[in-house]
Amino acid sequence: MTAGWLALLAGLAASHAAPTAPWLDFTLSSSAIARRCAEAKAEASSKLDLLAQSRTPTFDATLREFSNVLADFSDAISAPTFLGEVSVDAAVRDASRACDTDVSRFLVDVYGREDLYRALKAFAGSGHALAGEEARLLEKTLLDFKRNGLELPKDKREEIQALRKRIVELETEFRKALGEEKTLVSFTREQLAGVPADMIARLARDGERTLVSLDYPDYFPFMENASDPAARRELERKFSNRGGEANVRRLAEALKLRREAARLLGYPSHAHFVLEERMAKTPEAARAFLAGLLPKLERKGRDELAELARLKEAEEGRGADRAIRAWDWRYYDVKRLRTRYQVDDQAIKEYFPLETVTAGMLEVYQTLLGLVFREVVPADAWHPDVRLFKVTDKADGSLVGHFYMDLFPREGKYKHAAAFTLVAGRSRPDGSYQPPIAAMVANFEKPTAEKPSLLRHREVETFFHEFGHIMHQVLTRAKYRRFSGTRVARDFVEAPSQMLENWVWRADIVERLSGHYREPKRKLPKELLDRMIAAKTVNAGITYLRQAMFASVDLAYHLEPVADTTALWQKVASEISLVPMTPGTHPEAGFGHIMGGYDAGYYGYLWSKVYAQDMFSRFEQSGPLDPQTGGAYRRIILERGGSVDESASLREFLGREPSDAAFLKSIGLEP
């Protein structure tokens, strides 16, 4: 352990209090998962049957009971469905995904039940006056049923249910194909020129050749450092074909079925159906938002690409292809940072050992949000690498919740970074509050006998981002699961976490986060951080054009019928991102977000970034660790979840109407 981690543990004695959620059993076998899933469905069905048969519609017996039944069901299937993302046992992962699919199909049936809808409508028409979160719960619950076809004739409802169930199967198969990706690409010693030595040392070998996976800890360092363009091209080609033709077919079928379901419900497209519940409200508003950004981003992006092209010509010669290809832009962007700004990510990461960053990050969040974190030992989690922390309120010592950290890659594990709600915070029937439990899953470089895990600065940023989601989930005080934690409008859900990325660019915060892995007292030099800050926006045009491209492809897929998803991707990529798609690849087959909940909503990453930077402007005025501002952020944004309209919460926190000025400034553009 590094000094930073030891200091944290010395200041915060380890706790032995396990979470009060005995149903969170991470030792479940594949057969136990199937059994638990079936039992949870049977119990929920029985309770819902009783609710539907009630002849006295009241808030407690009808609306609150419906909410509690589904919340109890969610708790019961939490571990069985989560294990599909993290278990080392392939049979367990398969059983978990089967349970997840079964659960999704079950929920389609629940929201297709006419007797439940009648009971809820009877309560809505009974004259009970509701306000605040209860009124919002009724409104959203009735809308959920309506959006599942309960205002349609029975034959149409059954058709929608069948479509939804098939979509669930396709989504599960799509995600499984990505989660089980095991492609390895072999390279000679010459082809590895420029790749960090510590990365090469940890890679598997096949005789004289070295094997590189498509996982993030391998892919990004390779693409950023390998000087052989043919080697980069080969790895990028494999990466952009993850999921293969099978996922292309799954996506095409899902797009078709989503469109059919939306039309049956009376919506012009799946995009119109999805955005009805988002802050944007309509696809037209989302497209107008992107259209307003694109001209500014394009001017900046073209200037950046021109500079990268000059670097490419200087390295590869005048006879080389001057266009910046998909396998070029990361490499030459890093080269520009090193040559023009003297910013070398590989050297910088020596100042960010994971344990030091973790200790500093937890200290920052404790100070900002008025919390105390204590590690729970043993964690009794799903893998020995996992840590568990207890969260209490600094003011009164009351229990707030728990969170797990699972930070290193392994076979079969979820390959990106994400925060998962394991137990949603909510009011219990006895009036007490159920403490939330969440899990952060990431894939940072695993420590070796020679070196600790070292984070590139962008990974430190990712760490802060994902932990922001954890805080959103753990600090919730919403009464009902429907609004708990990150269950907010999808085009707002990233904003609280995106805002917290700003902390890792401040000298006073970096002082807490850094310490050279050989000499922990050596902090990241201020002059180096100054150069990093100066370089922060140099690739913002390319980066945000790429995000705009993803968003535009996503909206296009879900607005009109698509004959060829690959051809459409290629067209939009060349028009918007300015970096052409590699011929012979199918990037959409690996675009997990489009089959994982961001369908017709990927624009939300950019949309919420505007709100994130606007919220940060308040911290810029008060200071990043000001407890009063942090307390307001906790109370108004994090604790409420979706229990209050997101726009209203945003205006209250800002004290004014939102603006995009801070966002444009943050990426080097004039408002």
DSSP string, 390-434: EEEETTT--EEEEEEEE-S--TTS--S-EEEEEE--EE-TTS-EE
Which comes out higher in pLDDT, residue 1 or 62? 62
**What CA–CA distance (Å, rounded) separates 506 from 499?**
13
As given in the structure block, the two tokens for residue 126 are 């009974």
* CA 452 – CA 1 distance, rounded (Å): 9
- Helix orientation angle between 132-146 and 65-76, rounded to the nearest 10 degrees: 70
Please report which confidence band the pLDDT of residue 332 belongs to, taking 50, 70 and 90 as the band edges: very high
Reduced DSSP (H G I as helix, E B as strand, rest coil) percent helix, strand, coil of the chain, to 5: 60, 5, 35
Q: Which amino acid is at 340?
A: R
User: Residue 21: inside a domain, yes or no?
Assistant: yes
CA nearest neighbour of 308 among 583, 196, 300: 300
pTM to 2 decimal places = 0.89
Q: Do 136 and 54 have their domain in common?
A: yes
Confidence of residue 153 (pLDDT cuts 50, 70, 90): very high
In whole angstroms, how far apart are CA 176 and each of 60, 410, 412, 439, 440? 40, 15, 9, 20, 20
Are 355 and 297 found together in one domain? no
Percent of the chain clearing pLDDT 70 (strictly above): 97
Q: How confident is the model at residue 538 (pLDDT cuts 50, 70, 90)?
A: confident
Q: 219 in a domain, yes or no?
A: yes
- Residues 305-324 as b/e (b if ≥16 CB within 10 A, e otherwise) read bebbbebbeeeeeeeeeeeb
Q: How high is the pLDDT of residue 179?
A: 86
DSSP reduced 3-state for 210:
strand
531 has pLDDT over 90: yes
> Is residue 120, in this structure, part of any structural domain at all?
yes
* Cβ atoms 467, 391 nearer than 8 A: no
Residue 205, helix vs strand vs coil: strand
Tally: H helices and E strands in the chain: 27, 10
DSSP track, 32-74: HHHHHHHHHHHHHHHHHHHHHH-SS--IIIIIIHHHHHHHHHH
Mean pLDDT of 290-297: 93
Residue 95: inside a domain: yes
Say whether both 23 and 82 belong to one domain: yes
pLDDT value, residue 300: 93
Residue 320 pLDDT grade (very low, low, confident, very high; cuts 50, 70, 90): confident
Q: In the predicted model, is pLDDT for residue 518 greater than 60? A: yes
Q: What is the pLDDT of residue 596?
A: 79
563 and 592, same domain (yes or no): yes
Q: What is the mean pLDDT of residues 648-660?
A: 96
Task: Give the pLDDT band of residue 14 (cuts 50, 70, 90).
Answer: low
**Res 521: pLDDT:** 95
User: What is 217-233 written as a DSSP string?
Assistant: HHHHHHHHH---HHHHH
- Within 13 A of 388's CA, how many CA atoms are on the CB side? 18
Tokens of 384: 């020995």
- What confidence tier does 496 reach under pLDDT thresholds 50, 70, 90? very high
Q: Is the peptide bond before 153 cis (omega within 30 degrees of 0)?
A: no
Does any domain span residue 636? no
Structure confidence at residue 9 (pLDDT): 41
Among 492, 502, 465, 501, residue whose Cα is nearest residue 604: 492
284 shares its domain with 317: yes
User: In the prediction, which pLDDT does 539 show?
Assistant: 87
Tell me the C-alpha distance between 31 and 352, whole Å: 42
Rounded Cα–Cα distance for residues 254 and 168 (Å) = 9
User: Which of the four pLDDT bands, split at 50, 70 and 90, describes residue 18?
Assistant: low
Query: What 3 state SS string does 150-189 have?
Result: CCCCHHHHHHHHHHHHHHHHHHHHHHHHHHCCCCEEEECC
Per-residue pLDDT at 17 exceeds 80? no
Of the candidates 602, 623, 640, which is a domain's last residue?
Answer: 602
Residues in a beta bridge with 391: 373, 401
The pLDDT score that the predictor gives to residue 4 is 40
Question: How sure is the predictor about 479, in pLDDT bands with cuts at 50, 70 and 90?
Answer: very high
pLDDT score, position 475:
98
**How do residues 32-54 score in pLDDT, each as one tens digit?**
999 999 999 999 999 999 999 98
Could you tell me if 86 and 201 lie in one domain?
no
Q: Are residues 377 and 494 in the same domain?
A: yes
Mean pLDDT calculated for residue range 481-500: 96
Number of domains in the chain: 3
Residues 17 and 49 in one domain: yes
Q: How deeply is 97 buried, as exposed, middle or buried, from its count of CB atoms within 10 A (0-12, 13-18, 19+)?
A: buried
Q: Which residue has the tokens 């990037």?
A: 587
Give the domain extent around 205.
Answer: 182-239
pLDDT at 671 over 80: no
Instruction: Output the six-digit token pair for 615.
Output: 């919220």
d(CA 93, CA 629): 42
Within its chain, how far is the Cα of 188 from the centroid? 35
Summarised one tens digit per residue, pLDDT across range 377-425 is 999 999 999 999 999 999 999 999 999 999 999 999 998 899 999 999 9
> What's the pLDDT at 46?
98
Please report whether residue 626 resides in a domain.
Answer: no
pLDDT of residue 321: 87
Instruction: Report the CATH number at residue 572.
Output: 1.10.1370.10
Taking the alpha carbons of 11, 17, 18, 19 in that order, is the dihedral positive or negative?
negative
Instruction: Tell which of 563, 587, 602 closes a domain.
Output: 602
State the burial class of residue 200 (Cβ atoms within 10 Å of its Cβ: 0-12, 13-18, 19+). Answer: middle
Please give the pLDDT value at position 19: 74
392 forms beta bridges with 372, 399
Determine the average pLDDT of the residues in 367-377: 97
Q: 320 and 371: one domain?
A: no
Q: Which one-letter amino acid corresponds to residue 543?
A: T
470 has pLDDT over 60: yes
Q: Do both 353 and 325 map to the same domain? A: no
Q: Which of 350, 461, 466, 501 is catalytic?
A: 466
Residues 44 and 72: beta-carbon distance below 8 Å: yes
| One domain, residues 531 and 427 | yes
Q: Residue 11: pLDDT above 80?
A: no
User: Nearest to residue 184, comparing CAs of 217, 214, 221?
Assistant: 214
| Residue 643 domain-assigned (yes or no) | no
> Has residue 22 been placed in a domain?
yes
| Structure letter (DSSP) for residue 211 | E
Q: What's the DSSP call for residue 580? A: P
The top-scoring range by mean pLDDT among 23-27, 232-236, 410-414 is 232-236
Q: Which of 346-355, 595-604, 648-657 is predicted with the least confidence, judged by mean pLDDT?
A: 595-604
Instruction: Single out the residue in 572, 602, 632 at which a domain terminates.
Output: 602
Q: Average pLDDT, whole number, for the chain?
A: 94
Whether residue 6 is predicted with pLDDT greater than 70 in this model: the reply is no
Give yes or no: 466 in active site.
Answer: yes
CATH number of the domain where residue 9 is located:
1.10.1370.40
* 531-to-342, 507, 663 alpha-carbon distances in Å: 7, 12, 21
Confidence of residue 617 (pLDDT cuts 50, 70, 90): very high
Do both 9 and 69 map to the same domain?
Answer: yes
Q: What is the per-residue pLDDT for 559? A: 97
In this predicted model, what pLDDT tens digit does every residue of 114-125 receive, in sequence order?
999 999 999 999
The Cα–Cα gap between 505 and 386 comes to 28
Tokens for 594, please give them: 């489009």
> b or e along 211-228 (b: 16 or more beta carbons within 10 Å of the residue's beta carbon)?
ebbbbbbbbbbbbbbbeb
Instruction: Report which of 617, 607, 654 is spatially closest to residue 279, judged by C-alpha positions.
Output: 607
